[in-house]
Amino acid sequence: MNGTQTLTNATACDRYAAVQQATRSHRASHGCWAYTFEDGPSLQRLAAKWNAHRVLELGTALGYTACCLAGSGPEVRVDTIERDATHVALAREQIASVGLADQIIVHHGSFEVVMKNLTPCYDLAFFDGFTPEPHLIHALRQLLVDGGILVCANVDLALSAEASALRQALDDPRQWQQEASIEAGATRVLIKRSSR
């Protein structure tokens, strides 16, 4: 099997591939930072495996990963945050087009501001912004239930000055249990240890 066949088969298994492709097309024409996550099916399987009912996502773009997360079960509810107004509008359109508008709320604003107004007890949090910052990791931890899952993409994009602080925030064994990785190791999966 060659690389083209592998990509085609992976896309055929992805119920939300059209949203992913719309994100790629938008980024190409808009010249923006709306990069798409490459392994939505693994993200969906992870949410299903951990039986995540309440999900928080930082970095909506056009809604591809929000759809993957919501698609892990009919009872799943996703809050996703996006600061770009154009992306918020496009994400709402894309989410409605695949029938998930009742499961996903797209919040417009900065991560920090919107997160302050959310009610804790999320089962899974997914960071898919440009690069995670330690204060955002801490804020996500506060919103997760004990035993909740943090899925953190783009860890390798941290600048060298920030990388050490980020590693310290993610690798603290008192805070997190290292679980696994997805997207060929580029996305970390951690379990929140009890706050008690």
The encoded tokens of residue 195 equal: 């706050």
Alpha-carbon span 142 to 28, nearest angstrom? 36
Mean pLDDT of all residues in the chain?
Answer: 89
Helical residues (DSSP H) of the chain, grouped into ranges: 3-12, 17-30, 40-49, 64-70, 85-97, 111-116, 134-143, 160-171
pLDDT for the residue numbered 15: 92
CATH number at residue 125: 3.40.50.150
Domain span at residue 177?
3-192
pLDDT for the residue numbered 186: 80
Domains contained in the chain, number? 1
Tell me the pLDDT tens digit for each residue of 87-135: 999 999 999 999 999 999 999 999 999 999 999 999 999 999 877 888 9
Tell me the pLDDT tens digit for each residue of 182-196: 887 789 999 999 976
Torsion sign (Cα): 166, 184, 191, 109 = positive
Tell me the pLDDT tens digit for each residue of 7-20: 333 443 589 999 99
The model carries a pTM of: 0.89
